[in-house]
């Protein structure tokens, strides 16, 4: 009887593995792209997926080139399964999809319009099935630990990395000339910094020490009293992260709670892109595993922000609207913001996935009946009343989706353009400000 119970527990794992064919030669899956993902997170997710599928002796080995790895496991029958992970920058992942040298692209930025057009023969890579947000990361601005500065705004960042401001004294600090450190041109981290800081102000990067390795960049800044750099959140290491201000936002450190909601000005999404034309079952298995609770636990263990929903207490501040302070005193905010497709009232791909996570959280915590308040925000309009109305309409769009899943709302509020988390001077900032928060009582 005991043997039968053990078999029932074990067999489902192998049943999944048996459904995934092992190629006679070559890797079962090829992943190319972001160094931020591919250096550690990608291989860790691959190892977790392979173990979940029932493979044995799963381990990682160096690949043929720098920043390349092979993850290897064996089936019960002794057949070897190899998955290759190459981490040379986000743009290389999309190029590899185009020339068919990769099955899955890892990217630390959204796919560009030009890449989307290039890859049209593979299907719509912006579809919900293709564009998979796997984690949230924050770009930390790092200094030497002895640097006395604690806060910088995004305008100052642009001036620093453009070379317009080139001494610490010009920022109210000490130390003489500023030494710039940056990721290389192939890096999604660099692309994100360009998009969030440099491009919006029409400023190119000044001469800087460039790195393909996140770890090496961080260590170099931590050893240079005059250094400043930008880096993915898990790679702050021995350096010092500063608080960032964008427009009229509050100064924000790259804290887990602020990055999970994407309120932190330099937060970003990390992606897998799976072509709709893909017939590779290992690619689909990895995407599904990554979105599961086991996969998201691996995301968190690797220093990124998982997308699991949690309730967070928020300290009321005098700068908050009175009604918002009242909510903060009696409820907790969920660690997710619903955001919308550009120029649309439709939820974006991450929001569609988050919807199911929120519903699962509400069900497991018995919060389905009049325990949820939705709070909408928007970007500034000429008419404050119009901004307030639009922010409430966005909250009502989320309400419709929650009602379909059996949630009865307690209240819906709209605060218009109040409490911005980003500057309203560009589309990216306006999109971040158009958000809906979820509060549970």
Q: What per-residue confidence (pLDDT) applies to 33? A: 97
Of 379 and 154, the structure prediction assigns the larger pLDDT to: 154
Q: How many CA atoms lie within 13 A of 83 on its CB side?
A: 30
How many CB atoms lie under 10 A from the CB of residue 100? 10
Tell me, what's the pLDDT at 411? 95
23-24-25 Cα angle (round to 5): 90
Cα separation of 46 and 64, whole Å?
Answer: 18
Check residue 425 and give its pLDDT. 63
For residue 140, give the DSSP letter: E
Average pLDDT over residues 351-362: 94
pLDDT at 2 over 70: no
Q: Which two tokens stand for residue 328?
A: 């903060």
Shared domain check, 239 and 187:
yes
- Of 330, 441, 324, 426, nearest in space to 376 by CA: 324
Q: Is residue 267 part of a domain?
A: no
Instruction: State the pLDDT at residue 234.
Output: 86
pLDDT confidence of 385, banded at 50, 70, 90? confident
- CATH number for the domain harbouring residue 295: 3.40.190.10
Mean pLDDT on 425-433 = 69
Q: What is the pLDDT of residue 279?
A: 95
Q: How far is CA 160 from the centre of its chain?
A: 25
pLDDT at 426 over 80: no
Flag whether pLDDT at 190 surpasses 70: yes
Report if residue 284 sits inside a domain: yes
User: For residue 248, with 0-12 CB atoms within 10 Å meaning exposed, 13-18 middle and 19 or more buried, which class applies?
Assistant: middle
Q: What is the pLDDT of residue 13?
A: 42
Residue 266 lies in a domain: no
Residues 170 and 81 in one domain: no
The predicted-structure confidence for 261-277, as pLDDT tens digits, reads as follows 999 999 989 999 999 99
At how many degrees (to 10) do helices 41-52 and 281-291 cross?
100
What is the predicted pLDDT for the residue at 250? 87
278 with 317, same domain? no
Which pLDDT score is estimated for 424? 61
Q: What digits encode the pLDDT tens for the residues 302-313?
A: 989 999 999 999
Q: pLDDT at position 362, please?
A: 97
In a domain, 104, yes or no: yes
Q: Is the pLDDT of residue 394 over 80?
A: yes
255/367 same-domain check: no
Q: What are the backbone angles phi and psi of residue 252, rounded to the nearest 5°?
A: -130, 125
pLDDT band at 399 (very low <50, low <70, confident <90, very high): very high
Residue 351: per-residue pLDDT: 92
Q: What crossing angle do the helices spanning 293-301 and 281-291 adopt, rounded to 10°?
A: 70
Domain membership flag for residue 265:
no
Same domain, yes or no: 255 and 281: no
Q: Is residue 321 part of a domain?
A: yes
Look up residue 87 and give its two tokens.
């981490």
Where are the alpha helices (H) located in 331-408, listed in sequence order?
Answer: 349-364, 384-404
- Number of Cβ within 10 Å of residue 420's Cβ equals 21
Domain presence at residue 385: yes
For 123: left if phi > 0, alpha if psi spans -120 to 50, otherwise beta; the answer is: left
Question: Which residues are CB-contacts of 438 (< 8 A; sequence separation ≥ 6)?
Answer: 333, 334, 336, 338, 358, 372, 373, 374, 375, 398
Same domain, 16 and 119: yes
- Report the number of distinct structural domains present in the chain: 3
Query: Could you tell me if 318 and 431 lie in one domain?
Result: yes
Q: Does residue 177 form part of some domain? A: yes
| H or E element in which residue 336 lies | strand 332-339
Measure Cα distances from 209 to 162, 169, 184, 235 in Å.
13, 21, 9, 17
Most confident of 372-376, 383-387, 426-430: 372-376
Closest Cα to residue 292, out of 108, 74, 30, 53?
53
Confidence bin at 343 (pLDDT 50/70/90): low
CATH number at residue 352: 3.30.1330.60
Closest CA to 365 of 411, 413, 295, 309: 309
Domain, as residue range, for 204: 137-260
Q: Which of 63, 127, 118, 120 is nearest to 91 (CA)?
A: 118
Same domain, residue pair 325 and 285? no
**Does residue 110 sit in the same domain as residue 74?**
yes
What's the length of the chain? 441
Instruction: Please give the model's pTM, rounded to 2 decimal places.
Output: 0.81
The Cα–Cα gap between 214 and 233 comes to 10
State CA 62 to chain mean position distance. 26
Q: pLDDT value at position 266?
A: 92
Residues 17 and 116 in one domain: yes
142 and 242 both lie in a single domain: yes
Q: Which of 231, 260, 289 is the endpoint of a domain? A: 260
Angle, CA of 272, 303 and 157, to the nearest 5°: 85
Residue among 198, 195, 223 nearest 209 (CA): 223
pLDDT bucket at 379, cuts 50 / 70 / 90: confident
| 398 vs 392: CA distance, rounded Å | 10
Looking at the fold, whether 143 and 252 belong to one and the same domain comes out as yes
- The candidate with the shortest Cα–Cα distance to 206, out of 165, 265, 155, is 165
- Placement of tokens 């079962």 in the chain: 28
State yes or no: pLDDT of 15 exceeds 60: no
């Amino acid at each position: 009887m005991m043997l039968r119970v053990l078999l029932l527990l074990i067999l489902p794992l192998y049943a999944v593995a048996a459904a995934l064919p092992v190629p006679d030669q070559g890797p079962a899956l090829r992943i190319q792209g972001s160094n931020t993902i591919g250096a550690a997170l990608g291989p860790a997710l691959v190892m977790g997926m392979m173990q979940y599928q029932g493979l044995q002796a799963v381990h990682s080995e160096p690949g043929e080139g720098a920043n390349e790895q092979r993850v290897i496991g064996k089936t019960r029958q002794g057949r070897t399964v190899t998955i290759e992970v190459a981490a040379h920058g986000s743009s290389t992942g999309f190029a590899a999809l185009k020339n068919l040298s990769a099955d899955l692209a890892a990217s630390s930025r959204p796919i560009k319009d030009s890449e989307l057009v290039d890859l049209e023969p593979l299907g719509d890579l912006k579809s919900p099935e293709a564009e998979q947000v796997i984690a949230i990361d924050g770009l930390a601005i790092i200094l030497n630990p002895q640097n006395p500065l604690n806060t910088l705004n995004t305008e100052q960042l642009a001036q620093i990395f453009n070379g317009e401001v080139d001494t610490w004294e010009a920022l109210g600090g000490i130390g003489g000339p500023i030494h710039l450190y940056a990721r290389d041109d192939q890096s999604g981290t660099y692309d994100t910094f360009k998009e969030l800081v440099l491009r919006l102000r029409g400023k190119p990067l000044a001469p800087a020490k460039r790195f393909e390795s996140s770890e090496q960049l961080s260590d170099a800044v931590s050893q240079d009293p005059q250094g400043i750099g930008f880096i993915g959140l898990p790679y702050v290491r021995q350096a010092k992260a500063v608080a960032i201000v964008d427009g009229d936002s509050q100064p924000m450190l790259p804290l887990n709670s602020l990055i999970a909601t994407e309120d932190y000005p330099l937060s970003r999404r990390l992606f897998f892109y799976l072509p709709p034309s893909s017939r590779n079952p290992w690619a689909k298995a990895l995407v599904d595993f990554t979105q599961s609770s086991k996969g998201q636990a691996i995301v968190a263990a690797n220093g990124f922000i998982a997308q699991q929903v949690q309730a967070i207490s928020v300290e009321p501040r005098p700068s908050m609207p009175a009604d918002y302070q009242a909510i903060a005193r009696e409820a907790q905010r969920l660690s997710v913001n619903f955001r919308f497709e550009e120029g649309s009232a439709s939820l974006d791909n991450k929001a569609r996935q988050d919807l199911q996570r929120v519903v699962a959280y509400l069900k497991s915590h018995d919060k389905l009946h009049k325990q949820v308040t939705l709070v909408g925000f928007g970007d500034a309009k000429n008419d404050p009343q119009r901004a307030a109305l639009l922010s409430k309409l966005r909250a009502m769009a989320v309400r419709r989706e929650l009602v379909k899943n059996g949630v009865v709302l307690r209240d819906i509020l709209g605060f218009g353009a109040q409490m911005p988390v980003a500057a309203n001077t560009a589309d990216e900032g306006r999109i971040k400000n158009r958000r809906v928060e979820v509060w549970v009582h």
